[in-house]
């Protein structure tokens, strides 16, 4: 596993704990996994986990913070480049929003545990998870400003609504591709990462270019 921002160095007991926790959280759910379960999977004592993280809640925060920071780092180069442009390109903005999760999902990436964990975390109601998620959402104001520059004809509220729905496209595309396979009777392959990115961007672009919605 490649260390993400804020992720301990590979081979350390802290990294082993987080890797085991991520796998178990993804498999069983965030609420169902105990500190004892994680200690057994990481082959460390319970005291080691408390030494590094203090509590299960803080372990969850640390893991989610690292994974969200990893996604943020994947978007950083794209957004920094666009911010330097007088008129940022809409498709490039949407690529920065949609593609990173698809890259984690790509065959051979070895990131199945990360994808399963993030899928669970996105719908979790645990306070510690929501706090980290909300902090990340606040960072999306940067994307809103880019979209407002790319689409000056849309109001702030309209841009926010459309970006909100774009993340729905991202989630459905990358975490629910089995629905697509069943619905299309095998004609559509959601597991084709490049096609799913291209189609999701095209759909989101059409939505952003549509006339403003009427209440």
Q: How many domains is the chain partitioned into structurally?
A: 1
Q: Is 87 helix (H, G, I), strand (E, B) or coil?
A: coil
Name the residue with higher pLDDT: 56 or 178: 56
Do the Cβ atoms of 177 and 190 come closer than 8 Å?
yes
Q: What percent of the chain has pLDDT over 90?
A: 55
Q: Which of 9-13, 96-100, 200-204 has the lowest mean pLDDT?
A: 9-13
Residue 72 lies in a domain: yes
Given a cut of 50, whether residue 2 has pLDDT beyond it is no
85-142 per-position pLDDT tens digit: 999 999 999 999 999 888 777 777 778 899 889 988 988 899 989 988 888 888 889 9
Q: Who contacts 40 (Cβ-Cβ below 8 Å, separation ≥6)?
A: none
Q: What is the CATH number of the domain that holds 65?
A: 1.10.357.10
Given a cut of 90, whether residue 54 has pLDDT beyond it is yes
Residue 128 lies in a domain: yes
Average pLDDT taken over every residue of the chain: 88
How much is the pLDDT for 112?
Answer: 86
Residue 20 lies in a domain: no
- Domain interval for residue 81: 60-209
pLDDT mean over 197-208: 95
Run of H or E residues at 138: helix 127-138
pTM of the model: 0.82
Residue 116 lies in a domain: yes
Residue 11 lies in a domain: no
How much is the pLDDT for 35?
Answer: 96
Residue 25 lies in a domain: no
Do the Cβ atoms of 54 and 61 come closer than 8 Å?
no
130-174 per-position pLDDT tens digit: 988 888 888 889 999 999 999 999 999 999 999 999 988 887 776
How much is the pLDDT for 90?
Answer: 98
- Residue 165: name the closest of 98, 211, 106 by CA: 98
Q: What percent of the chain has pLDDT over 70?
A: 95
Alpha carbon distance 23, 16 (integer Å) = 11
Residue 124 lies in a domain: yes
How much is the pLDDT for 6?
Answer: 60
């Amino acid at each position: 596993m490649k260390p993400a921002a804020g992720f301990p160095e590979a081979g350390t007991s802290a990294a082993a704990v987080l890797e085991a926790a991520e796998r178990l959280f993804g498999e069983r759910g965030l609420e169902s996994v105990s500190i004892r379960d994680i200690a057994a999977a990481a082959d460390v004592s319970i005291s080691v986990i408390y030494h590094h993280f203090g509590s299960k809640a803080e372990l969850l925060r640390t893991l989610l913070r690292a994974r969200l920071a990893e996604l943020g780092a994947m978007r950083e180069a794209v957004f920094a480049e666009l911010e330097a442009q007088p008129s940022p390109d809409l498709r490039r903005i949407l690529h920065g929003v949609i593609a990173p999760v698809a890259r984690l999902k790509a065959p051979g990436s070895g990131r199945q545990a990360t994808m399963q964990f993030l899928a669970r975390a996105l719908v979790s109601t645990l306070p510690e998870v929501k706090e980290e998620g909300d902090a990340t959402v606040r960072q999306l104001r940067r994307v809103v400003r880019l979209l407002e520059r790319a689409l000056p004809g849309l109001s702030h509220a309209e841009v926010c609504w459309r970006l909100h729905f774009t993340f729905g496209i991202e989630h459905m595309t990358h975490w629910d591709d089995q629905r697509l396979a069943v619905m299309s009777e095998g004609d559509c392959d959601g597991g084709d990462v490049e096609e799913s990115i291209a189609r999701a961007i095209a759909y989101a672009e059409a939505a952003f270019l549509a006339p403003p919605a009427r209440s």
